[in-house]
Structure 1
Amino acid sequence: MKKNHILIIGLLLITISCGKNKKEIENEKAQIEIQQKVIAEKKEQERIHLEKIEVGKSILKTHFSNELERLKKVLQEQERKLTEIYEFQFGRANSTKEKQLNEQNIRIGQIQSYISRIEKEISLTNLRETFDFQDSPKGVINYLFESAKNNDFEKLRHLCDPYGENDGDSRGICFVAMQPSEMQNQFVESFKKGRIMSEPKIENDRAEVEIAYGPNSDKLEKINLVKRMDKWYIVSI
């Protein structure tokens, strides 16, 4: 029995000696509190980020809706002109009338097509995607050049600042997929031979990249980017 008591006491002493002292427990507690604070701050950043994205969506929808309203008025005016051409009877050869009707129908078709593309963009404003090439300013700009080379504009809509702080020129680039074919061709000619002229100037969450662009890659321009939650976006040109 005495031996058993001695064994139990020995085991207790070993357990106590192997346990954590007060300082270690306090350090662990402090580390846990730090981790919890970091997690809470990250969640708050994500909440604010998502709120600002919603504001950006609203700004974009308003912009598209205003453009849609303008184009619908233009369409009505062009349809009225078509009716006038069709009804006008005096002092004009049939061949001239047919030519005018064809030209006016083409014009109306182009406006209708543009309206459809804007309506599509409005339906896509809730869709947000990010890509690996957005991990750096150079990645975004190089993708811009690749899009022009390949005539592939679909991902460009995701490169505009999701908070809606873009200028008109950068918005025109991001949404070139909905533009008339002449504008798309102009985009291709401007950027398919584009190149980055120097290392990006990065300060906090802002970056400036100087590029050469144009048919002969002999024009200089600066593109400004902004970082949102570790991804880079075009904000102005």
Structure 2
Amino acid sequence: MKKKILLLIFAVSFFSCNQLSEEERLIHNQKVISGIDRKKSDLDKILANIDEQSKKLSTEFDDVYSFKIGRSSSTKRAQIAELEKKSRIIYNYRLDINNLKNKLDVLHKTFEWPESPKKVLEKLFEIAKYGNYNQTIFLVDPYDENDNKVDKIAYISAYPVEEKDEFMQNFKYGRIIGTPIFKEKKADIEFLFGLNADYKRTMKLVKRNKSWYLSSY
């Protein structure tokens, strides 16, 4: 399976890596494979948490269906309806996380973003503005050496609607306010985000081959 993934990554990243030596390409591809494995592990932890939520919900269902003196039938129906709503959310969350996990081998590759950290950050704002959540996985460090906040950006396509809305509100009005500061294969850019674009942060990006990726903020 590892060899199959390596061949796939080599095929999709050949043109973006053709300035590297054979040894550098192999190291890069191995690091991408390790990054995929770590992100799958992250998603497995999310799935474990979802399973815990399902168990708690099952207990709540048992409690609601049990006989309670003085509770009206309309109250019971309302309680059941609310739990069924939660159940659908959990079901879809699990399904979306599993789908993302199964796609990582293909999606999590060196993507041809412009050779500019500024363009990558602007792409993040554009995704939030138009809701193109499936593209965020391409913005994140393929070696998975990024922080947890950037992990959430990577996985946002699989998160519940409420968290997608939060992501949208945080970044759709984002704007760059500083000139990128470069140091070797890293770059820092100051930006504003939030509903009123009044929170200032520094986005740290890292260069892999000739492409830039989000690392932390």
TM-score (norm 1): 0.80
Please give the secondary structure, in 1, of the residue aligned with 2:173: coil
Contact 1:79 1:108 in 2 (8 A): no
Q: Which of residues 173, 193, 206 is equivalent to 1:226? A: 206
Deviation per CA, 1:84-104: give whole Å up to 9, x if none.
201233220111111111111
Q: Which letter does structure 2 place at the counterpart of 1:63?
A: D
Q: Which letter does structure 2 place at the counterpart of 1:101?
A: I
Distance in 2, matches of 1:227 and 1:142, equals 16
What's the CA shift for 1:193?
Answer: 1.1
Distance in 2, matches of 1:61 and 1:142, equals 27
How do 1:1-237 and structure 2 match up within 5 A?
A: 42-127=21-106, 128-237=108-217
The structure with higher relative contact order (CA 8 Å, sep 6+) is 2
TM-score (norm 2): 0.87
Note the aligned Cα RMSD (angstroms).
1.7
What's the CA shift for 1:74?
Answer: 1.5
What's the CA shift for 1:133?
Answer: 3.4
Report which of the two has the higher share of helix.
1
Please give the secondary structure, in 1, of the residue aligned with 2:201: strand
What's the CA shift for 1:130?
Answer: 4.5
Question: Gapped runs of 5+ residues in structure 1?
Answer: 1-38
Distance in 1, matches of 2:82 and 2:176, equals 42
The 1:129–1:162 alpha-carbon spacing in structure 2 relative to 1, beyond 3 Å, is closer
Please give the secondary structure, in 1, of the residue aligned with 2:146: coil
State the structure with more CA Rg: 1
What's the CA shift for 1:129?
Answer: 4.4
Tell me how many residue pairs correspond in the alignment: 199
Moved over 3 A (4+): 128-134
Distance in 2, matches of 1:49 and 1:129, equals 11
Q: Which letter does structure 1 place at the counterpart of 2:78?
A: K
Deviation per CA, 1:151-187: give whole Å up to 9, x if none.
1111111111111111111111122111111111111
Q: Which letter does structure 1 place at the counterpart of 2:105?
A: N
The 1:41–1:179 alpha-carbon spacing in structure 2 relative to 1, beyond 3 Å, is closer
Question: Gapped runs of 5+ residues in structure 2?
Answer: 1-17
Q: Which letter does structure 1 place at the counterpart of 2:182?
A: I
